[in-house]
Amino acid sequence: MRPALALFALAAIMMGGPARAQYTIPDARISDPMAQFDAGIAYEYGRGVAPDDAKAAEWFEKSAAQGYAPAETALGVAYANGRGVAEDDAEAVKWFEKAAARDDAKAEFNLGIAYAHGRGVDADDAKAAAWFAKAATHGDPEAEFNLGLAYARGRGEPQDYAEALDWFRKAADQGDLDAASALGIAYARGHGVPEDDAAAYQWYAIAQSGAEEGSDTYFRATRALQILAERLTTAQISAAEAKAAAWRAQHKAANP
């Protein structure tokens, strides 16, 4: 599972929901803020042009200057990660705040990260949890996962395993594999639910099957499955794997 609090999210087109950008080949005459944002995406991901972080940030800035929230978030991420511009946490927070004022979920999530780690602002777990909660209510899965962690660990929120599990489930339903692993941990340790190795196996199987082989998530899920397998019968493992497969099929249909 990734660290307790995720790194700043690359906003751009990874904001949840289907990608709407057409990755238009940039043209200096572009004046529409959405098209300018798309031009930034084109340079960031090399869609039709050679990747160029500096040019991506330049286009994000043009769009952000016109008040386009996704571009404001993307520019904040550029400053937070030093991509195409000099790293500047205070400048990043400034742009995240502008986008968050327009209810941009990824900006709200990134403000949670800023407060959690004290980047550009004083560290404040309560404010971090509050921003995660705002982003989570807008359906951001990373925010849902981090809000679950806040409840599970009592950081910025009273420790409440049942509430944590609710948020982990919401995030897992949107494909967050670390949330699936967190559910595996909860069932293995009896945090907020009765201890249940078979249910833990099911959630770790879900996490492993969606993770990139060789990733930390894959490695940790695989190790957990090996440990749990020693405590389960063959029939219990088969049943847990069948439940995991059914869950994947159901959620693939719900989130094509």
125-157 pLDDT per residue, tens: 999 999 999 999 999 999 999 999 999 999 999
Task: Tell which residue, 145, 152, 113, has the closest CA to residue 131.
Answer: 113
What's the confidence (pLDDT) of residue 28? 58
Using alpha carbons, list the distances in angstroms from residue 54 to 86, 120, 146, 167: 10, 22, 30, 37
Report if residue 124 sits inside a domain.
Answer: no
d(CA 11, CA 179): 20
Mean pLDDT of the chain: 89
What's the confidence (pLDDT) of residue 20? 44
What's the confidence (pLDDT) of residue 217? 93
DSSP the chain: ---SSPPPP--TT-SSS------PPP-TT---HHHHHHHHHHHHHTSSS---HHHHHHHHHHHHTTT-HHHHHHHHHHHHHTSSS---HHHHHHHHHHHHTTT-HHHHHHHHHHHHHTSSS---HHHHHHHHHHHHHTT-HHHHHHHHHHHHHTSSS---HHHHHHHHHHHHHTT-HHHHHHHHHHHHHTSSS---HHHHHHHHHHHHHHSPTTSHHHHHHHHHHHHHHTTS-HHHHHHHHHHHHHHHHHHHHH--
What's the confidence (pLDDT) of residue 3? 35
Lowest mean pLDDT across 8-22, 63-77, 128-142, 181-195: 8-22
Report if residue 193 sits inside a domain.
Answer: yes
Residue 52 in this model has a pLDDT that exceeds 80: yes
Report if residue 156 sits inside a domain.
Answer: no
240-255 pLDDT per residue, tens: 999 999 999 998 755 6
Residue 113 in this model has a pLDDT that exceeds 50: yes
Q: Do residues 42 and 24 make contact, with C-beta atoms less than 8 angstroms apart?
A: yes
Residue 219 in this model has a pLDDT that exceeds 60: yes
150-209 pLDDT per residue, tens: 999 999 999 999 999 999 999 999 999 999 999 999 999 999 999 999 999 999 999 999
Report if residue 226 sits inside a domain.
Answer: yes
What total number of domains does the chain contain? 1
Give the distance, in angstroms, between the CA of residue 10 and the centroid of all CA atoms in the same chain: 9
Burial 180-192 (b: 16+ CB within 10 A, else e): bbbbbbbbbeebb
Range of the domain at 185: 176-256
Number of other CB atoms surrounding residue 249 within 10 Å: 10
What's the confidence (pLDDT) of residue 25? 60
Residue 83 in this model has a pLDDT that exceeds 50: yes
State phi, psi for 47 to the nearest 5 degrees.
Answer: -95, 95
Report if residue 212 sits inside a domain.
Answer: yes
Confidence of residue 17 (pLDDT cuts 50, 70, 90): very low
Report if residue 195 sits inside a domain.
Answer: yes
Query: pTM to 2 decimals?
Result: 0.86
Report if residue 254 sits inside a domain.
Answer: yes
Report if residue 60 sits inside a domain.
Answer: no
Mean pLDDT of 16-28: 48
Confidence of residue 31 (pLDDT cuts 50, 70, 90): confident
Q: Do residues 210 and 176 make contact, with C-beta atoms less than 8 angstroms apart?
A: no
| Residues with Cβ within 8 Å of residue 238, at least 6 apart in sequence | none
